[in-house]
A and B are shown apart, each in its own frame.
Chain A
Amino acid sequence: MSIVFSGQAGQGLQTLEAITTKLFKRFGYHVFSYSEYMSRIRGGNNTTQVRVSSRRVASYTRRIDIFIPMQKDAMRRFHDRITHETVIIGDRAFIEERYLEGHYPVIEVPLTALARDAGGAVYGNTILLGLLSALFYVDRQLMEEELRTFFSSLEEQRLQKNLHAAEIGYEEGKKLLKPGQAAISIEHSEGVERELLMDGINAVGLGALAGGCTFVSSYPMSPSTGVLVFFTQKAGRSSVVVEQAEDEISAVNMAIGSWYAGGRALVTTSGGGFALMVEGVSLAGCMESPLVVHIGQRPGPATGLPTRTEQADLLFVLHSGHGEFPRAILAPGNIEQAFALTRHAFYLADKHQVPAFILTDQFLLESRYNIPELDTSKVYDQPFIVRTEKDYRRYTLTESGISPRGVPGFGAGRVRTDSDEHDEQGFITEDFGMRTAMVRKRLKKMDGLMEELLPPAFIGPEDYENIIVCWGSSYHPVIEAVEMLGRKDTAVLHFSQIYPLAPDIAGYLSRARKKIIAESNATSQFGRLITCETGMDFDLRILKFDGLPLMPEDIYDALNGQLL
């Protein structure tokens, strides 16, 4: 079931999203939610999709089963997504004429008037919650409990009014359940109520903590700011140093400074902010400093669409930084991976002394759904810093290219690090032999990164005809599309590590008769990278770049009739 609330900024859609997903999950339904919203604080038109299901759901769908208009103009942007099967529930005043002519299932509920009676417009959302609870057979008692938890910071009188409003909504909803009216049947699943309900922001934040993050310096930029806020709010009072820098240049140079002094630093930004950080990436490359960069992608160029989503910074991140040095780029496909790979990024960066990137996007960061558990068994504790001896050399030439990393104040050695080309001790040098040795040493670390490469996830039959390649947050939409198609001859190959790229990709591709790639950008950046590395081309590229997430239906439509 896909419910879409359509209102304006400032109308409390976020609260509604939070409380409905919590309540439905508590009742045992699988839930997913995602909001698409404009870059403004008031007005405009924003919508939230909440999916309620008996199975796990993790993608944003074009399909809308229930549409709830909450403002004038709430439907204008949705004519192509409201079908004759979409039930429209709400105030007559907010329903456009064309839907009132009897061809669409419309259930008029005087929400505005009910809210007025309940004490004011602010109670409108609670009434809606009550109404939906009744429609989805959520236990009334449970609803009340959830409201009490959710509104625990409100004073008693306001809480009572909310409870009352929910009751009103619940009664309205029950009226709709009369025979012949709407009826929803979703099985609820055992154990879901104890699952984690979280978004990508929390997953990246928790992953960083599990990776031993002790320092965060950043400059706000949607959609990455949530991760910065995670550290000041959720992880507040913990042992992480958090600073809002004056700009991204400062943020990244702070992060490298912190690593030098023994911190484990993260910067979180978006493409535009990362553009300013690029000099720092190169600095980390030269200094052989670990560095963890989280980039929440949004559509560019320039300021682009600040609150929307895209996967168009892949090649930028891959090629960022002047000069030649190794790096690792990870692109989580879902919330579990956002956690695990952020942790992994700290491990890779620290062990191999390279910049490691976590490439997410607004869709992944801001979509929220329930997951059974996060695997916290793989936590590691700072094994990579050494106590220095008197004759310590920061850049000792080694077989692996990795030199033991000391920090100032821990041991008797001097820790010298330089952005100029340097000798083993870290002093500036222009010796051509040393230069050559240092370049080789830095690049040698690529071998170590290759050894720890995360293989792509292969989903589907061994004897496939068609293969669909995707990366990052496109994972769930592609999987769901293939399920919709019901094809037994089609496999999905998902990459959560973009660089270094798995060498066996050519094998996977060559076994398919039709090679397809799906990604959220206009020029098929990952496809081009694969072609560059393997020489193999794709037969079909499914590309989306309007600012909305890739939807299963986009892929379904594009594949229909195209598969062998």
Chain B
Amino acid sequence: MASLYDFDHEIDIAWCRGCGNFRILASLKNTLSELELDPDTVVLVSGIGQAAKTPQYLDVHYFNGLHGRSLPAATAIKASNRGLTVIAESGDGDTYGEGGNHFIHAIRRNPGITNIVHNNMVYALTKGQASPTTRVGFVTPVQPQGVTEEAFNPLAVAVSLNAPFVARAYAGDEEQTSEILKKAITHKGYALVDIFQPCVTYNKVNTYQWYKENTYYLGEDYDPCDRPAAFAKALETGKYPLGVIYINDDRPAFEDTLDAYMHDTRPLYERTIDLDGIKRLMDSLRT
């Protein structure tokens, strides 16, 4: 299906055949088309990794920054022009490892951005080392005895920090992933969508088959506004819940709390220097 976000020429994609990233890319394009956003105002922000190459493969504005730093950049982009739809998209290593501190503080700060994390439980681009979400016992060239660290639980962290929107998706299911992304992008404030992504080359444990067998969708009767229930869901292992796990509508978005927009709603690029203000400040130093 052709979309507004397709290029009209061939592109050379750096992902392996069968990679879950293709499915996420398709879901994202589908979501953006269905939301009927003005493509001139959509900005993708990513770090470094195979997942972080996603912005290269659809026709959008993008900021492909440093490993681990998509969230600070995305936060600032949104805060500098509130009219933009800003999506930060990277891998689990990038977002939860190198960028772990930013992950925590972005949720606290709550910019109006969507954070898509391709969670393949491994560092793919650097050829298969453990990531923060790698399960205990997983053997890699750098962890030959198997990983011993407890796996990072992004959803539980996000719920504990009262993120406005916390969801988990599975790359293999484009339709549901699209639905979840749609909700995330239209939600006010920071929205996390952690997407289980099979890595066909470096993760032979958490395969398409494995995800199918080890996940289930939350039912109609599940109330994502119930925080303790959401926390319990986020902690579930064995079979992992998919869908919108937590919603909280109470927090103002970071960019809407800024003084800079109280009396002036224009994006920063439209602003000019307030010489009178500077002179007033100077005069206050004369007395």
Contacts and interface: CB of A to CB of B under 8 A. Distances in A.
A414 interface: yes
Contact of B61 (A202, A238, A239, A416): A416
25 contacts: A206-B281, A209-B277, A215-B79, A235-B281, A239-B268, A240-B260, A242-B259, A247-B101, A249-B72, A249-B102, A250-B102, A254-B73, A255-B76, A257-B80, A258-B80, A262-B267, A263-B269, A280-B66, A287-B65, A379-B278, A409-B83, A414-B61, A415-B61, A420-B64, A426-B62
B273 interface: yes
A463 B242 CA distance: 82
Contacts of A206: 278, 281-282
Range of interface residues on chain B? 35 or more
B66 A279 contact: yes
Contacts of B83: 409
Nearest to B53: A428
Interface in A104-141: none
Interface in B41-86: 41, 43, 45, 48, 53, 55-56, 59-66, 69, 71-81, 83-84
A195 interface: yes
Interface in B102-140: 102, 104-105, 109
A214 B271 contact: yes
B264 to A, nearest CB: 5
A253 B90 CA distance: 16
Interface of B: 40-41, 43, 45, 48, 53, 55-56, 59-66, 69, 71-81, 83-84, 101-102, 104-105, 109, 258-260, 262-264, 267-275, 277-279, 281-282, 284-287
B76 A376 contact: no
B65 A258 contact: no
Nearest to A414: B61
A408 B84 CA distance: 8
Interface in A281-314: 283, 287
A409 B60 CA distance: 11
A72 to B, nearest CB: 36
B33 to A, nearest CB: 16
B53 to A, nearest CB: 7
A246 B76 CA distance: 13
Contact of A257 (B55, B73, B271): B73
List the 7 closest A-B pairs by CB distance, nearest first. Answer: A262-B269, A257-B73, A257-B76, A246-B105, A408-B61, A263-B80, A261-B80
A191 to B, nearest CB: 11
Interface string A163-179: 00000000000000000
A217 interface: yes
A351 B43 CA distance: 24
A265 B101 CA distance: 22
Interface of A: 22, 26, 149, 194-198, 202, 206, 209-210, 212, 214-215, 217, 234-243, 245-247, 249-251, 253-258, 260-265, 279-280, 283, 287, 374, 376, 379-382, 385, 407-412, 414-420, 426-428
A246 B263 CA distance: 27
Contacts of B61: 408-409, 414-416
A260 B278 contact: no
Contacts of A410: 269
Contacts of B281: 202, 206, 209, 234-235
B73 A210 contact: no
B5 to A, nearest CB: 11
Given A279-B66, A415-B61, 17 more contacts: A22-B287, A195-B286, A202-B281, A210-B275, A214-B80, A217-B76, A239-B263, A249-B72, A256-B76, A257-B65, A261-B76, A283-B65, A376-B282, A407-B81, A408-B77, A417-B62, A418-B62
